[in-house]
Amino acid sequence: MRCAQQTFGCSFLAHKVCADLLPILKFGFTTRVRDVMAQPCPDPAKCSVGIPLMVDLSWMATPSIVKHSSHSQHLLFRTSRRSMISPISCCSSDSLAFDVYKCSICDFYIHIRCAALPKMIHFHKFDQHPLHLITAGTSNSFGSDHDICEVCEEDIECKYWFFHSAKCDYSFHVNCIPSVGYLSKVKFGGKYSMSCHSHPLMRKRMLTYGRNERCGYCHKIIVGLVDQVAFSCEQCDYWIHFSCASDSLSSSHTRGTILFEEFDL
């Protein structure tokens, strides 16, 4: 959308989705309800204290009613009401932080984030052939209902959605592929000052970093090849878990700090 005063020299532009955002949104977390005010994205380099809460706004643009290939016989309706005993069909993540899509007739639920996954992607680092999203429970070439992810080399439960190359017989967890993983829409980098370390720390995505590091706060391993956030110092190779950085800010009682937390989208 464009400013109506363009003829008078104003060059302001905004996406329609962004222009239609409500000024204040209520997000229901498992611990509390948080009000989030719609604001222009700040410059990370200017965040000297704390880390702002990051929320993916793309889910707000999703339609209320969809027809999805994973359950094509019925329409799916967007809802925030889901029984705790109702299973999620798309993945093992059982986050209740956001709305889901529910079948209008049967007890079928999928995450909004999973519903938006592309049916086909390319992951040239591991396979030159296209990878297809498998949404129906299936067995691999050995007749098992489990497979192995080529990235993390951990088990894939084939009853949940995953990406697969039929030509190479390669399989991948959805969240092990950088272009569609949990943090695929987060911009990394920026520098943040924290009380736990004397130098500015940079936000890193461990999935693309790909190597294990040791946390300088709790001294436990920060696992590489997992789609999670960590912070590192480029001056002295100091690393800290996302959760440990939050703990350090809480324990320092720094005024003005915006506490942050990870949650599934």
Greater confidence, 119 or 250? Answer: 119
Judge whether 125 lies within some domain. Answer: yes
**pLDDT, tens digit, 9 for 90 and up, residues 172-205:** 999 999 999 989 888 888 888 888 899 999 999 9
> Smallest Cα–Cα separation from 208: which of 186, 191, 224?
224
- 3-class SS letters over 53-122: CCCCHHHHHCCCEECCHHHCCCCEEEECCCCCCCCCCCCCCCCCCCCEEEECCCCCEEEHHHHCCCCEEE
Query: By the 8 A CB rule, do 126 and 151 touch?
Result: yes
pTM: 0.71
Residue 137 structural domain: 120-176
Number of domains observed in the structure of the chain? 1
pLDDT-above-70 percentage for the chain? 68
Phi, psi (degrees; rounded to nearest 5) at 9:
100, 0
Alpha carbon distance 54, 47 (integer Å): 13
**Token pair listed for 114:** 């999973």
In angstroms, the CA 138 to CA 145 distance is 6
Tell me whether residue 160 is in a domain: yes
Residue 57 pLDDT: 61
List of residues 6+ apart from 253 with CB closer than 8 A? none
